[in-house]
Structure 1
Amino acid sequence: MTCEASLLEQLAADEESVRGQLESLREQVATLEEQLRDLATARRIVAPMLAGRSRPEQAPSDGTPDAPTHTSPKEAAPAPKPVTGLDKQVVVIMASSGRTMRAKEVAQALGEPDVRGRVETTRARLKRLTALGWLTQHEPGLFSIAPHINGHALGGVANDEA
C-alpha cells in the first residue's frame, strides 16, 4: 500500500504542476490576445494616415512640378513618420485614452515597472513621438495624441467625413 500511496501522491503533484502550467499558458494567451487587439487598433489608426500620406508624396510622372491640391484641413496636416513596435503601442494607448497623460501613466499602461529609469525611458519615447508628429506636449510632462491623428482615430479616413 505504501507504493500505491506514493504513486497517488506523485500523480497528484504532477496534476497540480500541469494545472499551474495550464494557468500560466492561459494568462499568456490572454496577454497575446490583448496585444493582438492593440496591434489591430494601431493598424486601423495608422493605415488611413499612411494611405493619405502616400498620395501627396508620389512624384509626378511627367516631370512637371507638383500642382497645388485642395485638401481638407485634416489632410493638410503633415503626416507623422512611421513608427513600429513599442512606439505603436504608445500611440494606441494615447489615442484610446482621449486625454493628456504623463510618462508615468503611459509606462504603467505599457506594463513597465514603476521605477524612475523606465519612466524616464518612456518620457524620452513620448518626446520622440512628439518630434515625429504623433503626439503633442501641452506643457512639460503632459502629452496627448496629436489632433490630426485623433481625427483619424475617431473619424476614420478624412475623405469619408466629407
Structure 2
Amino acid sequence: MVSLPEELQAREAAARQRMEELQAEAAELAVRLERARADLSRWEITRETVVQVLAELSAAEAVPEVVARDASDPKDAPAPHGIGVMAVPPWREGLVAGVLPDVYRDIVEIVADAPGPLQAKQIVPRIRLEATTAKIEGTRGKLKRLVERGWLDEDTPGRFTLARHYGDTGRVNSR
C-alpha cells in the first residue's frame, strides 16, 4: 500500500514532467511563430516595394518633362522604361509636395504638421504601417532620401523637420 505523501509526491512529479513538456512545446511554437512573422514581413515588404516601383513607373510615364532638354546630348536623353527615373525630385522653388509619390508626400505632410522634430518610429504608425523594425528602417530610408533631396532637414541625427528655404512659408502645398 502506498502512503498518501508518496502518492502526492508521484502526482507532483507527473505534473512537473507535463509542465516541462508543455514549456518545450511552447518554446518550439514561439520559434516557429517568429519564423512565420519574419516570412510575412518579407512578403509584405516585397509586395509594397513592387507596388511602389510600379506606381513610380506609371507616374513617370504620365508626367511630362518638367525641364526642356537638349536632345543632341545623349546623357540628357530620358531613360527608357523608367530606368533611372528619380521618384523623389530635388526640392526647388515652386515645387509642391503633390509631385512626390504618395508615401513620400504623406511623410512630408506629417512632418510639416508636427509641432517639432519627428523620428522614423513616430512616423510609421501615422502612415498606417505596423511598427516593426523593417517598416521603421524603410521609413528611415525614405526620410534620409527626402533630406538628400532638400524636402526635409535632419538637424539632430534621427530627428526630422521640414526643410526651411529662403522665402519658404513653411507650409506644404500638396495640390
TM exceeding 0.5? no
TM class, shorter-length: 0.3 to 0.5
Q: Answer 1 or 2: which has greater helix percent.
A: 1
- Structure number with the bigger relative contact order (C-alpha 8 A, sep ≥ 6) is 1
TM-score, normalisation: structure 2: 0.41
